[in-house]
Structure 1
């Protein structure tokens, strides 16, 4: 059995957002952490993800959107756990972002290879990240890059409620073993 952990972005996903839809369709999926609202405190998000990952030795697939991708990558380079893979959907380019809380972790996205399989889903029209920045993230993290086309930030505002292509990517990640290279 594989756990599926949903790692939300900065805000609270709307009811029609694909993450919310997946959570409703799959009651066994867990939020890691529950979707909070602003401010985004990275250290708290990383600690919450660690708490949920640490609840079980059962392998997990991390499903992250936007700032949740930053949480996932920071967690992966500070902690370990039984992770089969991570779906990193439209990670924002935040280098140099000033945290809301001065005691927070520095908002510099790590550029090291992740210790598990990962897929970066990139948009040609994302308002927070250029396609070239997505390509660099994928290369640095050792992730497979999926070009989703002109899909904005792949969120509700961009027209994404259902996202069957994303579900197929999660299924692919779930079939791999922990630590397998992409």
Structure 2
């Protein structure tokens, strides 16, 4: 969606979009490969910014690769059954912030807390913001920009 806050972030200087392979369905190996291409292309440390399934991609990438990552903003990751995608539940090797919504249709508050605990992420309660996407009114997201700046 062109109005999504992540698309707006990607239009700013210093941000780069990791190309999304075709989907759905979610193709974890292809998405991890796309992220690895972007991370390994740069010389400077990067901050990863991910939303929804992109958060799963970051966790999968961190389990398979190393690189110049100084932090990650992980926004409303979905809770997926392990028979669909085996998401690493180990501490990420870089600082991270996980943004939770109290009324997200894809993850419960307890699910967000469990992921934050497993990944070693600071948990930020964004309130009742749905899935924090353009469908719930988040074209521009200044709070997200401030969270990126913290990393």
CA distance in 1 between counterparts of 2:101 and 2:42 reads 34
Is 1:64 aligned to 2:50, yes or no?
A: yes
The answer (yes or no) to whether the contact 2:55–2:75 under 8 Å persists in 1 is: yes
Deviation at 1:145, TM superposition (A): 0.1
The answer (yes or no) to whether the contact 1:95–1:109 under 8 Å persists in 2 is: no
In the other structure, the counterpart of 2:146 is 168
Is 1:159 aligned to 2:103, yes or no?
A: no
In the other structure, the counterpart of 1:23 is 10
The answer (yes or no) to whether the contact 2:4–2:133 under 8 Å persists in 1 is: yes
Deviation at 1:21, TM superposition (A): 1.3
Cα displacement string for residues 28-79 of structure 1 (whole angstroms, at most 9, x for unaligned residues): 3111124744232100000111111111231000000000000000000110
Structure with a larger share of its residues in helix:
2
The answer (yes or no) to whether the contact 2:21–2:30 under 8 Å persists in 1 is: no
TM-score w.r.t. the length of structure 2 is 0.95
In the other structure, the counterpart of 1:9 is none
Is 1:43 aligned to 2:29, yes or no?
A: yes
| Matched length | 151
TM-score w.r.t. the length of structure 1 is 0.79
> Residues 36 and 169 (structure 1 numbering): CA distance in 2 closer, same or farther, change over 3 Å?
farther
Q: Which secondary structure state, in structure 1, belongs to the residue aligned with residue 41 of structure 2?
A: coil
In the other structure, the counterpart of 1:109 is 87
Over the aligned positions, Cα root-mean-square deviation in angstroms equals 1.3
Is 1:139 aligned to 2:117, yes or no?
A: yes
The answer (yes or no) to whether the contact 1:63–1:87 under 8 Å persists in 2 is: yes
